């Protein structure tokens, strides 16, 4: 957090510029982001992002929890893509334990992750358009997001803080009507994307506000650690789902959209293309869904037993009691697991010292790194374009501050 002396004042500086305070309570900073802007007329001379308003010490809290108790904390890091964070954490711990996950669980994980990506992109699209003055897009986007949240509620009992993935598999087999609901959504969604595109893609005001604005070159992206859609919009063909597959992504066919323009419009077009690819993957997961168990069966000390087994088998009851009261020890070591979140490379670095509680959990959040590129995007440009730039990197302050 910045010092008090950095606060804004209406007084002019010696250089004839003005320091303007934007946020932390500002509707278009998408959370509690504070920007200190030094402006010369309408031009931005300097920009200092000030973060930390949402710092809750999640990394520290994780050290005091059992491995399985950390899962609900991961939702709260990025509340727009809870499943992505759940997945990344459980994959990291599964890597530490070297667990094999049944194929059915992997397919459901991929399906839910792609739905999460759609839901997250819809919030981005709605709020980004809202920032630029296109009010109606928001209403359309939230209509479909609501469908996805209902699907999440159906499968996990929660709309946003799902915590549905478990170390070793899933919490429960999805309810019987879940797949019908997903199928129904997958059938209508492609034409809904056309609806959003009708509102924006060739809308003159939208194009003028976004084309050529907040450009980033390939070199700038790499050196500033930018990942996800902004990186691909600047011409880097890199997607962790394809290039370093996890959770069975190698079994899915999808294109990775890439653009070389590197401006706000390119990022918009790229995310729209990602929506289409994601819904395609949801369909593939529905069609190819194998039957079988939803959690690994050869690790009784890690995975909670079925309710039925607990009532009939003494051993299962003991394991259940042990896991809940004492957790399970994880062999010492350190792993870094990264997944492609809607915002970029989400990475979990988990260090184990051989006990039932993680020694250290660190989240490499994409927004944290992407935010560093904001200054590059805005300096020398118009003040009005700052709002477009913030929207186009799609930051979530929850994962920046953790």
The contact set with other proteins (CB under 8 A) reads: 1-4, 51-52, 55, 57, 59-61, 63-64, 95-100, 222-225, 236, 238, 243-244, 296, 298-302, 328-331, 333-336, 338, 345, 347, 349, 351, 359-360, 362, 364, 368-369, 371-372, 401
Which of 216, 282 has the CB closer to other proteins?
A: 216
Which of 96, 122 has the CB closer to other proteins?
A: 96
Which of 265, 368 has the CB closer to other proteins?
A: 368
Least distance (Å) from other proteins to the CB of residue 230? 13
Which of 51, 155 has the CB closer to other proteins?
A: 51
Tell me the angle at which helices 264-288 and 384-393 cross, rounded to the nearest 10 degrees: 20
Least distance (Å) from other proteins to the CB of residue 320? 14
CA distance 27 to 46: 21
Least distance (Å) from other proteins to the CB of residue 138? 30
Least distance (Å) from other proteins to the CB of residue 278? 22
Q: What is the 3-state secondary structure (H, E, C) of the chain?
A: CCCHHHCCEEEECCCCCEEEEECCCCHHHCCCCEEEEEEECCEEEEEEEECCCCCCCHHHHHCCCCHHHHHHHHHCCCCCCHHHHHHHHHHHHHHHHCCCCCHHHHHHHHHHHHHHHHHHHHHHHHHHHHHCCCHHHHHHHHHHHHHHHHHHHHHHCCCCCCCCEECCEECCCCCCCHHHHHHHHHHHHHHHHHHHHHHHCCCHHHHHHHCCCCCCCHHHHHHCCCCCHHHHHCCCCCCHHHHCCCCCHHHCCCCCCCCCCCCHHHHHHHHHHHHHHHHHHHHHHHHHCCCCCCECCCCCCCCCCCHHHHHHCHHHHHHHHHHHHHCCCCCCEEEEEEEEECCEEEEEEEEECCCCCCCEEEEECHHHHHHHHHHHHHCCCECHHHHHHHHHHCCCHHHHHC
Least distance (Å) from other proteins to the CB of residue 217? 13
Which of 126, 398 has the CB closer to other proteins?
A: 398
Q: For 214, list phi and psi in degrees, rounded to 5.
A: 50, 55
Which of 81, 346 has the CB closer to other proteins?
A: 346
Which of 199, 317 has the CB closer to other proteins?
A: 317
Which of 116, 227 has the CB closer to other proteins?
A: 227
Least distance (Å) from other proteins to the CB of residue 149? 30
Least distance (Å) from other proteins to the CB of residue 52? 4
Least distance (Å) from other proteins to the CB of residue 338? 7
């Amino acid at each position: 957090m910045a010092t008090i002396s950095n606060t804004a004042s209406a007084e002019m500086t010696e250089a004839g510029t003005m320091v303007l305070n934007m946020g932390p309570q500002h509707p278009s900073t998408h959370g509690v982001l504070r920007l200190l802007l030094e402006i010369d007329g309408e031009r931005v001379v300097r920009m200092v992002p000030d973060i930390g308003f949402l710092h809750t010490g999640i990394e520290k809290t994780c050290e005091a929890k059992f491995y399985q108790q950390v899962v609900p904390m991961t939702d709260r890091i990025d509340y727009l893509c809870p499943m992505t964070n759940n997945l990344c954490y459980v994959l990291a711990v599964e890597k530490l334990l070297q667990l094999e996950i049944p194929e059915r669980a992997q397919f459901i994980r991929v399906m839910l992750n792609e739905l999460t990506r759609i839901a997250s992109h819809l919030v981005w699209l709605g709020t980004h358009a809202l920032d630029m003055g296109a009010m109606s897009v928001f209403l359309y986007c939230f209509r479909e997001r609501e469908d996805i949240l209902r699907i999440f509620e159906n499968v996990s009992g929660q709309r946003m803080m799902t915590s549905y993935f478990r170390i070793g598999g899933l919490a429960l087999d999805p309810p019987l009507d879940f797949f019908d609901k997903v199928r129904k959504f997958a059938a209508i969604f492609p034409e809904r994307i056309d609806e959003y595109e009708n509102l924006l893609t060739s809308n003159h005001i939208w194009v003028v506000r976004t084309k050529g604005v907040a450009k980033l070159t390939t070199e700038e992206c790499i050196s500033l650690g930018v990942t996800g859609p902004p990186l691909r919009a600047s011409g880097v063909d890199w997607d962790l789902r394809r290039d370093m597959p996890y959770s069975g992504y190698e079994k899915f066919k999808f294109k990775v959209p890439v653009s070389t323009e590197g401006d706000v419009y390119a990022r918009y077009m790229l995310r729209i293309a990602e929506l289409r690819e994601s819904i395609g993957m949801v369909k593939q997961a529905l069609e190819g869904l194998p039957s079988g168990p939803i959690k690994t069966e050869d690790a009784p000390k890690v995975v909670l037993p079925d309710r039925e087994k607990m009532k009939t088998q003494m051993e299962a009851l003991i394991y259940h009691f042990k896991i809940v009261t004492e957790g399970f020890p994880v062999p010492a070591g350190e792993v870094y697991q990264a997944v492609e979140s809607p915002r970029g490379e989400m990475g979990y670095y988990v260090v184990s010292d051989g006990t039932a509680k993680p020694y250290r959990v660190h989240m490499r959040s994409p927004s944290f790194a992407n935010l560093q590129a904001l200054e590059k995007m805005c300096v020398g440009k118009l003040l009005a374009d700052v709002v477009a730039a913030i929207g186009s990197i799609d930051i979530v302050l929850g994962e920046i501050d953790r």
